[in-house]
Amino acid sequence: MNLINRLPCLVDSYFNAYAYFRGTLRQHLLGIVGGLIWCAGAIANFAAASSPKEVQVGPAVSYAIGQGATMVSALWGLLVWKEFAGATPRVRMLLAIMLILFVAGLALISIAPLYAK
């Protein structure tokens, strides 16, 4: 455990696995709530996959909807937590390009069945 505990991180400090146990009850509950929300989404995805064929949207659209969660989390980090507040203009441009390409990719995946033979 000591080897894993002392692995250097990207921020010139060391990861301390024991810090997890110093978290407050509120922090742990927020983590559990986040896991429950993720679990509810996974169960909804499984239930949608087992719905009758007449009302299914297909795997491509289902995949695009599922991957939309990644976009929501990226936007949450950018807009709510302001993770790139001190970023240079070049980094901001790359973030904008990433968001645009991600949305474009999801859109192309979701309309792909319309052009299938």
pTM listed for this prediction? 0.62
What is the pLDDT at residue 5? 52
Residue 58 and residue 113 in contact, taking contact as beta carbons nearer than 8 Å: yes
pLDDT tens digits, one per residue of 51-90: 888 888 777 787 888 888 888 889 989 998 899 999 999 9
The answer, yes or no, to whether residue 16 has pLDDT greater than 90, is no
What is the pLDDT at residue 1? 46
